[in-house]
Structure 1
Amino acid sequence: MAANYRYFTLEKEGELATVTLNRPDKLNAFTLQMLFEFKDIVDDLRIDLRTRFVIITGEGRAFCSGIDVMKEARDEWYADPRQPNERIFQENGQNIVRDWANLHQITIAAVNGACVGLGLGLVTLCDFRVVAEDAYFSIPETSIGIGYSVSCLYPLLASIGPAQARRMIMTGDRVTAHEAKTIGLAHSVVGSEDLMSASLELIRKLSTKGPTALRIVKRMINAATIAQTADLAAMEPELVQAFYNATGDIEEGLNAYREKREPRFHLETD
């Protein structure tokens, strides 16, 4: 069974659902419409008691290149003119990624190609990460003056620890598939042609385990990981918006990115 979305495909067969980001011409970069489509998919899966496993992957040569920051995509963010652009994405995105993390199904990220920013957040919120050997990961947000969302930060910290998280977030360095396995970001690395078959083999292994036990273990691990960040996550949209309003860094960073120049960020001594 397949559901119709503009920027995703959702296919269900037996106990497996496969979610595919389907905006390959833009390397599956998220727009606000994509975010709301993803919410619909997550809501569907939350009440689907038949599906036990979910694979998420990307169409084309990228898993997800993050949030689409080009002007045409950002114009779409003005769904509610009473709220600033970034706050709309933060508030909605935070709730959606939380619900994705808390799905009762076991989630497997089959990572093909580039996995950047929000894409990396989605991957670290999955229970398992199977990665193609030509894939890479990066968090380029600070290059355009944006912080990394708390909703995506806590699973990153749980996966790779503070030292590696600082390196990825503060430098924006790319992490290769094999390095990702070394630091705990990937569970396995396979040839790109074997990505889906390796994911299905993992599901076959998991399907022999007690379904109730798997759900309980997932909830316990999530509870232990998420508990310390809940208050900060609730405060994040307001704090971040106040910072951006005060400095103007986000607009400068985005304009510099579009104009292909170095950004001129605000300094506290200015």
Structure 2
Amino acid sequence: MTEEWRSLKLEGPDETGVVRLLLNRPARSNALDSHLFEELPLAIAQLDASSSVRVIILAGSGKNFCSGIDLSTLARFDEEGSTSKSTRNDRHDGARTSLLNLHRVKRLQAAFTSLEDCRKPVIAAIHGACIGGGVDLITACDLRYCSSDSFFSVKEVDLAIVADLGTLQRLPLLVGHGHAMDLALTGRRLNASEAKAIGLVNDVFQSKDVMVEQVNALARNIAAKSPLAVIGTKRVLVKSRDLSVMDGLDYVATWNSGMLVSNDLKEAIQAQMEKRQPTFSKL
């Protein structure tokens, strides 16, 4: 994990296994550019594979968490379409252009889905603006916390596009269909207190500094638990969203059939009996 990223910055992991992954274009309020979409899945894959990492905090550098997708990235869709080899000789072939756009959108979607697919918990720590693609990003995280100055907007409708990187699929699971429809159709600004009230964020803190402190404490608390249990809990919860209750029960039974023989379980029971904190091995 020593790569030099152009759109990201890595801090840690610390001695507890907590790492901070920062969106790092502060001069542009961390607008999401092509480098971000290339680098995010690579960074997440490395953190997921590292035995030293147990929890990931996703945050933003500078005054805002994320101002949404960089408009130059959107503009490049049309530019690339008009100059690519596949369309130079078929400039007016809508089918070829559509197929090319489909491939591009799926690639961008995969970058954000890497957060959900990551075995380790990903906590979004939000301050300031979280707009458009920023909302797509945080809804793919496992937990979301923000400072009181935060605001949110599903802004895509104001750019004459349909939000296509996960908001329309994941946001209703967090806030319900009605709230999601309201936010997506109006593009209105949602403040921090309302975001908590409807379930978009888990909690709101009075300042960025307090939020950072509290989210770090939460991450360390999770990191101190059995990594096998943490990974399994995330996996079962994510998987169960698409399963019936009975199928979900079958899934967790299958999962635990392998985990009930772990050394972590023995250590947890022994620590309880000895009234001490358990110590769990790295993955």
TM range (shorter): 0.7 to 0.9
Aligned mates of 2:242, 2:51 — CA distance in 1: 24
In structure 2, give the amino acid aligned to 1:62. N
Give the 4+ runs in structure 1 shifted more than 6 A: none
Task: Choose the corresponding residue for 2:237, options 207, 214, 221.
Answer: 221
1:168 aligns to 2:183 (yes or no): yes
Name the residue aligned to 1:13.
13
Deviations 1:115-174 (A, max 9, x none): 011111111111111101101111111112111126332221111010000011000011
How far residue 86 of structure 1 moved from its aligned partner, in angstroms, is: 4.8
What's the TM-score, normalizing by structure 2?
A: 0.73
RMSD of Structure 2 on Structure 1 (CA): 2.4
1:90 aligns to 2:105 (yes or no): yes
After TM superposition, the structure 1 stretch with the greater mean CA deviation from structure 2, 116-125 or 203-212, is: 203-212
Query: Aligned with 1:131: secondary structure?
Result: strand
Name the residue aligned to 2:43.
41
Aligned mates of 1:42, 1:207 — CA distance in 2: 17
How far residue 113 of structure 1 moved from its aligned partner, in angstroms, is: 0.8
2:18 and 2:220 in contact (8 A); partners too: no
Aligned mates of 2:2, 2:62 — CA distance in 1: 19
Unaligned runs of 5+ in 2: 87-96, 245-283
1:100 aligns to 2:102 (yes or no): no
1:2 and 1:12 in contact (8 A); partners too: no
Aligned mates of 2:196, 2:213 — CA distance in 1: 19
In structure 1, give the amino acid aligned to 2:209. E
Unaligned runs of 5+ in 1: 229-270
Name the residue aligned to 2:151.
136
Deviations 1:172-223 (A, max 9, x none): 0111111111000111111222121111111132234332222111111111
Aligned length: 227
1:20 and 1:56 in contact (8 A); partners too: yes
1:135 and 1:177 in contact (8 A); partners too: yes
Aligned mates of 2:174, 2:52 — CA distance in 1: 29
2:148 and 2:192 in contact (8 A); partners too: yes
How far residue 46 of structure 1 moved from its aligned partner, in angstroms, is: 2.8
What's the TM-score, normalizing by structure 1?
A: 0.76
Larger Rg: 2
Identity level (%): 28
